[in-house]
Structure formats: C-alpha cells, structure tokens
C-alpha cells in the first residue's frame, strides 16, 4: 500500500489558507471586523467551506442568509440575480458576485458606492474560490483511498438525499417570490412558513413560463415580449 500523503495535504491546507486569509487580514487591519467587506468575506468563506451538493444547494443557504439574515437584498433582487446569472455559464459565481456587490454598494463607507461594490464582488470571488481550491489540492492524493471507504460512501449518500430536499426548498422559495410580489413569512423556531398575497400575483411570470416551456421560445424573444408587457402594465398603473 502506498504511504499516506499527509505531508502534501498539510502543505496544501497551509498554502491555500494563507492565500484565503490575505485579503481578510488586510480588511481587518484597515477597516475592522464591523465593516461590510469583512462580513461579506466571512460569510462567503463559510459558504465555500461547509456547503455540499453543487451550486443550487449553495444558493438556498445564500438566498436565506443574504435576504433574511443580513438584509443585503430584497427577495425580488435575489430572484433577479439568479435570473441574470442563468443567462451565462457559471451561474453560481455570478450570483455570489451580485450579492457581494449590492451588499457593499449599499454600505460603501469610506469608499464611493461603485468602488465599494467592486471591492465587494472581488472579495466574494476570492474567498469563494480559495477554500474550494484548498479542498481540491488537499484531498486529491486521497481520492483512491476515499473511493474505497464504505463509511464515507454512506455519508455521501445521506448528503445527496439532503441536497435533493435543499434544492426543492430553493425551487419553492424562488417560485413564490417570482410569481408573487408580496410574500408573508412566519417563524416558529427553526421552521419558517411562507404564504403569498394573491393580489400581488405576477401575470408576466406566468406568460414567460408559457412562452419558454410551452412554446419553446428563445430567451431574447421572451425578454422582448415581457419587457413590452412590463412597460404596458407600468403605464396602466
């Protein structure tokens, strides 16, 4: 049996931890841990380290915390960010950048809003990717061993089942906030219940769904029709 590659794993963790920590130490030294850039860096670092299951599993937690926890965005803006990201490859990083930009843009001191927003997006990108690369390089030498570990396979099967539920939760959350402009919320400990306001139903969202899934229209045609419809509804209102 080949020797266990502990040395390479420890070295990878040390190097990538230093790479991740560099901008965070700079922010702490110059702006302090109460600044929004520190909060952005800490939140997305946690997101990168402890979430499993792919982009859509991550989005559920991010949407909940960014909207309801920190109050960086409104629910409709979170849905806008996801829609914007889905128009291009690599939607996860675009959504995280969108959240980081708006969070810093709205609390820019001592920078201008534009500069703060760009810094927020840059910090988000850095701390999201650095921990991911750390895990890749740290565990790459162990792949063959991990593939034969029965206990780990069982744990990953449990994670997969949980991810299905997380993605279902994300789907329901976004569906409510896309179809209805106003959604009520009640908390019972860790349990959260949502209910839509029927008067805030968005007919344009239904129209877009029909055009996309029923008539198989292209994205550009759907955007054009919905833009005209939005302008018409705004004039009527």
Residue 150 to residue 154: CA distance in whole angstroms? 6
| Lowest-confidence region among 21-25, 75-79, 163-167 | 163-167
Same domain, 164 and 50: yes
Same domain, 123 and 230: no
Beta bridge partners of 97: none
pLDDT of 34 > 90? The answer is yes
pLDDT of 39 > 90? The answer is yes
Same domain, 168 and 220: no
**Three-class SS of the chain:** CCCCCHHHHHHHHHHHHHHHHHHHHHHHHHCCCCCHHHHHHHHHHHHHHHCCCCHHHHHHHHHHHHHHHCCCCCHHHHHHHHHHHCCCCCHHHHHHHHHHHHHHHCCCCCCCHHHHHHHHHHHHHHHHHHHHHHHHHHHHHHHHHHHCCHHHHHHHHHHHHHHHHHHHHHHHHHHHHHHECCEEEEEECCEEEEEECHHHECHHHHHHHHHHHHCCCCHHHHHHHHHHHHHHHHHHC
What pLDDT does residue 90 have? 67
Is there a domain that residue 85 lies in? yes
Q: In the predicted model, what is the mean pLDDT of residues 117-137?
A: 90
Same domain, 61 and 152: yes
- In this predicted model, which residue has the larger pLDDT, 38 or 2? 38
Number of domains in the chain: 2
Same domain, 168 and 218: no
pLDDT of 74 > 80? The answer is yes
Same domain, 107 and 218: no
Same domain, 149 and 218: no
Same domain, 55 and 164: yes
- Which residues constitute the domain of residue 135? 6-187
Q: What does R_g of the chain's alpha carbons equal in angstroms?
A: 21
Q: In the predicted model, what is the mean pLDDT of residues 85-93?
A: 74
Residue 209 to residue 186: CA distance in whole angstroms? 28
pLDDT of 147 > 70? The answer is no
Is there a domain that residue 195 lies in? no
pLDDT of 145 > 80? The answer is no
Query: How big is the CA angle at 49 (ends 47 and 50), to the nearest 5 degrees?
Result: 75
Same domain, 115 and 212: no
Is there a domain that residue 1 lies in? no
Same domain, 218 and 168: no
Tokens describing residue 92:
């996860």
Cα of 143 vs its chain's centroid, Å: 27
pLDDT in tens, 154-206: 777 777 777 777 778 778 877 888 888 888 877 777 677 888 888 888 888 88
Is there a domain that residue 193 lies in? no
Same domain, 170 and 228: no
Is there a domain that residue 178 lies in? yes
Is there a domain that residue 192 lies in? no
Q: In the predicted model, what is the mean pLDDT of residues 126-153?
A: 79
Contact 66, 77 (CB under 8 A): no
Residue 183 to residue 175: CA distance in whole angstroms? 11
| pTM (2 d.p.) | 0.74
Beta bridge partners of 184: 195
Same domain, 129 and 222: no
Is there a domain that residue 44 lies in? yes
Is there a domain that residue 88 lies in? yes
């Amino acid at each position: 049996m080949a020797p266990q590659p502990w040395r390479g794993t420890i070295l990878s963790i040390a190097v990538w931890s230093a790479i991740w920590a560099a901008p965070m130490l700079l922010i702490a030294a110059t702006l302090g841990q109460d600044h929004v850039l520190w909060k952005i860096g800490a939140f997305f670092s946690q997101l990168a380290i402890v979430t499993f299951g792919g982009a859509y599993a991550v989005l559920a937690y991010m949407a909940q915390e960014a909207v309801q926890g920190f109050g960086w965005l409104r629910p409709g803006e979170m849905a806008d960010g996801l829609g914007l990201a889905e128009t291009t490859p690599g939607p996860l990083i675009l959504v995280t950048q969108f959240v980081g930009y708006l969070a810093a843009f709205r609390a820019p001191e001592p920078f201008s809003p534009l500069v703060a927003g760009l810094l927020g997006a840059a910090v988000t990108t850095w701390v999201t990717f650095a921990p991911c690369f750390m895990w890749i390089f740290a565990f790459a030498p162990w792949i063959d061993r991990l593939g034969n570990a029965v206990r780990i396979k069982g744990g990953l099967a449990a994670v997969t089942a949980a991810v299905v539920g997380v993605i279902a939760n994300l789907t329901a959350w976004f569906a409510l906030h896309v179809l209805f402009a106003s959604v009520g919320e009640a908390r019972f400990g860790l349990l959260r219940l949502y209910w839509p306001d029927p008067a805030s139903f968005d007919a344009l969202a239904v129209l877009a769904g029909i055009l996309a899934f029923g008539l198989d229209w292209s994205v550009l045609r759907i955007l054009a029709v919905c833009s005209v419809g939005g302008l018409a509804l705004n004039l009527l209102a």
